[in-house]
Every structure is written in C-alpha cells, then in structure tokens.
Amino acid sequence: MPTETSPHTSRRALLGGLMAAPALALPMLAITPTAHAQAGGAMALVKSVVDQLLTIVNGPGNAAEKRPRVRQVLNTSVDVDNIGRFCLGRFWNTASPDQQRAYLELYRSVLENNVSARLGEYVGVKITLLRAQPRDDTEIVSSTVERPNNAPAHVDWIVGKPSGSLKILDLVAEGTSMRLTQRSDYGAFLSRNGGNVQALIDAMRQQVSRNA
C-alpha cells in the first residue's frame, strides 16, 4: 500500500500483524528450569507455537510454500478474529456485516503474509521462556528474545480463553503491545479517510494482492 495511506507505519513494522512480532518465528528455544516448574497451559501453548514455527523456518520451501503451514499455526494457536475486531476498534460497529466479514478475511491474509515473508529473518534467533503469571483473566508468559547483532529484548505473550479455548491474544515487545499498535495504525488510517471502513478494506486487499 502507498505509504501515505498505509494502515501500517515503518516504525512499527516489527509488530505490524499479530504473528509478525519477533518472538513468533524463532528457530531456537530454551526453557529455564524455573519455567519447567511453572509451565502450564499458557507456557505449553507458547512453546508449541515456537516449536512449530522452528520446523517451518528450517524446513524446505519458499515463503509462498510455507504459508499454508503458517496458516495452520495461526488458526490453531492465535485468536485472530477477536484480535482483528479489537484492532478495528469503534469502527467495527460502523462496518456492515459484509464489510466485517471481508475485513476479517483480509486481516487473516495480511497476517499470514507478514509472518511468511519474515520467516527467513529469524535464523539464529533464540527465545528463553522465563515464567507464566496470571493477570486478570489472562496469563502472561514472559520471555527473552536474542537476535544476532541485537540487544536482547523482553517479550510477553498474552494468553487467554475469550472464545473457550486457550489462544494467544497479544504480544508485548519491550512494553509495546502488538494489538494496541495495530489498532492505533488502523485508527489513524481511518481518520485520514473519513472513517471509511471500505477504504481500509480496499487498501488491505491491494496489499494482499501484491503479496500473493
């Protein structure tokens, strides 16, 4: 999408699209003894996601060929629809049912594209799961992400059951929430376009088409 109309900003590209955050495409995983003792459903879910993406990262195929496997991980482990609705914010209620359906389909496609396109960037990255702590109706899995030639980063994985099954709801990297960042970007885009949800849908469709 053109920069002036894109719902994403270059400064936030690392967190744009749920699973495009750095902790979700990691080819190495280390769990400390403390984490072993505290590991529960949330910890197990995060470890499973990392392990599955490890296999995809190190497996054969280009980004397009790996995308179906990425989609499977997202569909089973991430509450994509609820995150998508959250990111649209108050504009969700102004969208027609057809627009809501189109937006969620495109949101999922944008997310899949973002993750698939960035898998190759995470070779040599290591994540250490530290602990899982309850917070309200969610559980926070804390981790440290180490990327070659970069300072270690702290990433929290927010896990909950808003739809009845355990899913990843958000990532918070060095204090920056992925879904709040995405919501801000989409809100800014819609404000520049008179609150026209269809304009956002059209821009997302163009983005998906370019990356197909």
Q: What is the pLDDT of residue 142?
A: 93
Q: How far apart are CA 67 and CA 119, in angstroms?
A: 10
Using the predicted structure, report yes or no on whether residue 164 has a pLDDT greater than 50: yes
Among 1-5, 111-115, 119-123, 131-135, where is mean pLDDT lowest? 1-5
Fold for 3-211, please state it.
Nuclear Transport Factor 2; Chain: A, (3.10.450)
Segment 133-157 shows an average pLDDT of: 89
Q: How far apart are CA 171 and CA 191, in angstroms?
A: 25
pLDDT digits (tens, 9 = 90+) for 112-124: 888 888 877 777 7
pLDDT digits (tens, 9 = 90+) for 78-90: 999 999 999 999 9
Other CB atoms within 10 A of residue 164 CB? 6
Segment 36-53 shows an average pLDDT of: 76
Pick the more confident residue, 191 or 10. Answer: 191
* Domain range summary for the chain, segments of one domain joined by +: 3-211
Q: How far apart are CA 80 and CA 18, in angstroms?
A: 8
Phi, psi (degrees; rounded to nearest 5) at 129: -80, 130
Output the furthest CA–CA distance in the chain (Å, rounded).
52
Segment 58-85 shows an average pLDDT of: 89
**Mode of pairing for the β-strands spanning 126-135 and 28-31:** parallel
How many angstroms separate the Cα of 48 from the Cα of each of 81, 92, 207? Answer: 20, 32, 30
Q: How far apart are CA 97 and CA 207, in angstroms?
A: 22
**Cβ proximity of 12 and 181 under 8 Å:** yes
Pick the more confident residue, 58 or 204. Answer: 204
For the ranges 39-43, 104-108, 161-165, the maximum mean pLDDT occurs at 104-108
Sign of the dihedral defined by the CA atoms of residues 58, 60, 62, 67, in that order: negative
Closest CA relative to residue 94, chosen from 201, 209, 203: 201
Residue found under tokens 């750095």: 22
Closest CA relative to residue 189, chosen from 120, 88, 93: 88
Residue found under tokens 């970007």: 185
For the ranges 68-72, 75-79, 196-200, 204-208, the maximum mean pLDDT occurs at 196-200
